[in-house]
Amino acid sequence: MTWIGEDDSAAVDVVVNGRPTAMRVPARRTLADALRDDGLTGTHLGCEHGVCGACTVLLDGRPVRSCLTLAVQAEGADVETVEGMAEGPELHVLQRAFHENGALQCGFCTPGFLMLALGLLRAEPEAPPERVREVLTSNLCRCTGGGPIVQAVLAAQRELAGDVA
């Protein structure tokens, strides 16, 4: 591979929510902007400096800030966004738990929290409550303060554990 000039676009091949996708993006475009340009506007930009977490997506299964990741860095990677969470009309356990636990009001931070929690529960399905709370401090929710989000994730974790057993 050689240089992509500052005015050039790069071809980036990624798998987004299971679908192989060829993006053409300038080198400086963030993964968040590239996804949003691709119509996946569920990934929100709340700060663009890596603090709020509204842009959290899964990159190769792990939660990352898509505002702090350049699209070109995602070449060959598997990207999951909130749009891929529900299976058709069937909401994911986490999505239902958020709804049932008052874990969202304005909804702007919700996709980022859902992806953060999804990454956590996949990697650490038995994470103790303190660990769940610690990881959830990664993102900010101005409406609820975050407590109901912790409760929702713990509820989803219990339900997922029950399904396995």
Partner 1 sequence: MKPPPFAYARAESLEHALTLLDEAGEDAKVLAGGQSLVPLLAYRLARPTHLIDIGRLPGLDTMRSDDTGLVVGGLVRHHELERSAVLTGPWQVLREAAGLIGHHPIRIRGTFAGSLAHADPAAELPVAATALDASFTVRSTGGDRVIPAAEFFVGPFMTVLEPAEIVVDGRFPAPPAGLRSAFAEFSPRAGDFAFVAVAVAVALDDGGRVRHARIVLGCVGALPLRAGEAEDELMGSALTEQAIDAAARAAAAGCDPVDGPHASATFRRELVAVLVGRTLRRLREDHP
Partner 2 sequence: MTRVRGLVGADVERLADLPLLTGAARYVADVHRDGEVHARIVRSQVAHARIVGIDTADAEAVPGVLAVITADDLPDVRIPIRLPLADTPRARRVLQPPLARGVVRYVGEPIAVVVATDAYVAEDAAELVDVDLDDLDVVAEVATAADPGMPVLHPDLGDNIVSSYPLHHGDVDAAFARADVVVRERLRMHRHTAVPMETRGAIAEVDPATGRLTLWGGAKVKHAVRAALGEMLSMEPADIRIVEVNVGGGFGVRGEAYPEDYLVAFLALRLRRPVKWIEDRTEHFVATNHAREQEHELEIAATADGRLLAFRDRAWCDQGAYARSQGTLPELLPALHLPGPYRWEAFALETTGVLTNRTPVGTYRGPGMTEAAFVRERLLDVLAGRLGLDPAELRRRNLIRDDDLPFTWSLGAGSAPVPPISYQSGAFCSSFETLLERAGYDELRREAATRSGDTISVGVGVATYVEVGAMGPFEDARIAPAADGSFVVHVGVASLGQGVETVLAQIAGDELGVPMDRLRVDHHDTDAVPMGFGAFASRSTPVAGNAVLLAARDLRTKAAKLLGAEPDDVEFRDGHVHGPGGASCPVQDVGEGRGRFDKPHPTFSFGAALSVVEVERDTGRVRVVRHVVVHDVGRAVNPALVRGQLAGAASQGIGAALLEELSYDERAQPMATTLGDYRLPSAGELPDIEVIVLEHPAPGNPLGAKGAGESGMVGTPAAVANAVADALGATGPQVTTLPLTADRVRALLREAT
**What residues line the site for partner 2 (CB under 8 A)?**
26, 28-29, 36, 40-49, 51-52, 54, 81-83, 85-86, 91, 95, 98-99, 102, 104-111, 114, 133-134, 136-151
C-alpha torsion 152→156→157→162, nearest 10: 140
Least Å distance, CB 134 to partner 2, is 7
Least Å distance, CB 165 to partner 2, is 26
Pick 67 or 85: Cβ nearer partner 1: 67
Query: Which of partner 2, partner 1, none has residue 44 at its interface (CB below 5 to 8 Å by kind)?
Result: partner 2
**For every residue of 83-100, which 3-state class applies, written as one string?**
HHCCECCECCHHHHHHHH
CA distance 105 to 110: 9
